[in-house]
Structure 1
Amino acid sequence: MRLTRRGYVVCGLIVVALALGLSFGPRALNAVVLPAAVALVAALVQVRRAVAPTVERTVPGDDFPDRTGTVTLSLSVDRSYPATLVDSLPFGVDGDAEVDTLVGGDPVSYDVTYRRRGEHELGPLTVVASDVLGLVERELVAPGTDSLLVFPRVRRVSTGTRHDLWALYDAQVSPRREEFDGLREYVRGDSLRDVHWKSSAKRDDLIVKEFVAETDASSVHVSAGGARSAGDQMAEAAATLCLTFSSSGIPVKLTTPSGVVNATAGDDGALLEHLARADSGPVPDDSADVVVTASEAATRVRFGDTETTFDRLVAPGSSRGGAGGALGEVPSTEVPA
């Protein structure tokens, strides 16, 4: 326990009152010293009886860098007391996590802004307990942490790059297009070249031709790695390329030094969660359809007969803040076979 500034002022008043009492009689002593001393003793007793609360922390959902969310703290304790709460924030998450409140009262909240990808832990909570007059304070620690996940940044690739990437999938599927198998209704991810226009006109709905080999869905393999200090660059490039495929209805196999993810078309969550936690290291499979190699100097991408830097593949002025660029630019009528 320690005195606050207000507590030191009260102690100073007591000293001054004692001096005045010695000079002018006990009446000055009774008028100031006794009430101040009682208040100080009461403050010491109140703060000494304070115990660390049980904390239930509600964190915002997984999101991209530069997004803001709200953390809510619900504190349970047998005896309420005023306090200043200071929640421990990790590197990669910004926010003003200091709140004055009544422990045991209504829940309190503060805002955080995501800065860097990764899995970040919030807590433990420091509780600076005080008395009602603010004379004495005591620091307590409420154990317990909660985590939140920050995805890598996702950029928007240029139109030319998008079609070059789609060609990788076409190159896998086209050689296996064997005999005609039947007709079915159009679903997102089908190519317009497979539309059976005569049947579509009769049924007033898009009908596509299905081939025997298409019953076995293929995927595009993306393998990413790089220098230990370039993990964020690796994750950003891999996320951008993977989501370009996934949002176009193309399954993706992703390999990084941290493991393998087989994502069905549209399963962006599995890809983003893996890349949020992925560590850098050697590229796991140099023979993949798309190979990403990151370093502090540049992030290089190789696919087909093309090898270039990642920055040359993205659209000029593309946003670096979230997934909207990669996910929102692909019309459903332009997806490949």
Structure 2
Amino acid sequence: MRPTRRALALVAVCALAVWLAITFGARSLNALVVPALVALAAAAAQLLLAERPTITRSQPAAGFPGDVRRIELVVESGQPLSARVTEEVGDGLRSEFTSATLSVPTTVEYEVELEARGERRLGPLALTVTDVFGLFSKTFEYPKRTPVLVYPPVEDLAAAGVLGGAVERTDHRERFDELREYVPGDSLRDVHWKSSAKRDDLVVMEFDGTRELTGLTLVAESTAGHADAMASAAASVAVALLDAGIVVSLCYPDGRVERAGGEPQRERVLSALARTGPGRVERDADVRVLADDRGTRLTVEGRELPFERVTGGSSAVATDGGTTAGVEP
């Protein structure tokens, strides 16, 4: 607990009043000294008895560079206090919010922009509370940080073009089982158009899944200093394949994402590529991404070509903003 400038000024006035009373016998100055001392004692007691406020920081959803997330800080306390909250925003994130003065309990909201691939952090956080007279302050530290996952940028990539040969070799389907109603996320290549026309509604073919899923193995590797380029290229290829209904497995310097398809696999692949660093992968691949001092290149069907030649040059994927359940910082 520390005295504020106001408290120091008040103490100085009291000391002066006492000196004047002793020197000149001005006992009427006690009318100033006594209330001031009472205020100082009451202010100190309030902060000494104040319990540590509880702060809950919302967990922002993962996203791509350029996405904006709204962060919510819920500050709760058993007694009303004046406070100043200070929040640190880690590298790879940008926010105009640094601190705010508020009355506790309250809720503070601010926006943060995702800037660079990786697992970024919000926090630590500090809350400085003052008594009702503004005479003393006390700072509570909240060291726990909240992770913010930033996916690599994803570029437009036509799977039927450059990846066409590799895609054709994966087109082995399981045995047809039944028709069912279309739900968002189903591949359009599973739509049974003839039956859909008769029913005036989309239906898709369901397969029994008794055969092992076939698909492509994507390998991503890079030398030091080129992990971001590798991650972006590999994410672009994986998203293009998954959007085309292709089952994909990913091998990258830090591990492997097992073969699967659909939206859950998309999130697994993007999350892995958001966190990975540089390194080589000794494994056969249907599609290989390599980023080094020579640039970023794809190898498909034994043919190597620069990644920039197969992209549309603009970001193709984004997620909706928002937050999920709160976590204690």
- Structure 1 residue aligned with 2:162: 164
Which of 220, 228, 231 is 1:232 aligned to? 228
Which of 241, 248, 252 is 1:245 aligned to? 241
- Structure 1 residue aligned with 2:216: 220
AA matched with 1:240: S
**1:3 Cα deviation (Å)?**
2.5
Query: In the aligned structure 2, how far is the partner of 1:129 from the partner of 1:206?
Result: 60
- 1:84-233 → structure 2 map (5 Å cutoff): 84-95=84-95, 96-103=97-104, 105-142=105-142, 144-157=144-157, 159=158, 162-173=160-171, 188-190=187-189, 217-233=213-229
Indicate whether 1:293 and 2:290 are aligned.
yes
Query: In the aligned structure 2, how far is the partner of 1:244 from the partner of 1:324?
Result: 14
- The answer (yes or no) to whether the contact 2:295–2:306 under 8 Å persists in 1 is yes
AA matched with 1:65: P
Secondary structure of 1:163's counterpart equals coil
Listed one character per residue, the Cα deviations across residues 217-264 of structure 1 (whole Å, up to 9, x for unaligned) are 421111001124322222111111100111111111111122211231
Structure 1: unaligned runs, 5 residues or longer: 326-337
Cα separation, partners in 2 of 1:181 and 1:14, compared to 1, 3 Å: closer
Q: CA RMSD in A?
A: 3.8
Q: Percent identity?
A: 32
AA matched with 2:92: G
Listed one character per residue, the Cα deviations across residues 115-152 of structure 1 (whole Å, up to 9, x for unaligned) are 22222343443221211122221222235443332211
Q: Which has the higher helix share?
A: 1
AA matched with 2:297: R
- Structure 1 residue aligned with 2:324: none
Query: In the aligned structure 2, how far is the partner of 1:53 from the partner of 1:102?
Result: 12
**What TM-score, normalized by structure 2, do the two folds share?**
0.77
Cα separation, partners in 2 of 1:135 and 1:296, compared to 1, 3 Å: farther
- The answer (yes or no) to whether the contact 1:256–1:284 under 8 Å persists in 2 is no
Q: Which has the higher strand share?
A: 2
- Structure 2 residue aligned with 1:278: 276
Query: In the aligned structure 1, how far is the partner of 2:75 from the partner of 2:204?
Result: 59
- 1:28-43 → structure 2 map (5 Å cutoff): 29-43=29-43
Secondary structure of 1:164's counterpart equals coil
Structure 2: unaligned runs, 5 residues or longer: 320-329
Give the aligned length.
309
Secondary structure of 1:30's counterpart equals helix
Query: In the aligned structure 1, how far is the partner of 2:202 from the partner of 2:38?
Result: 86
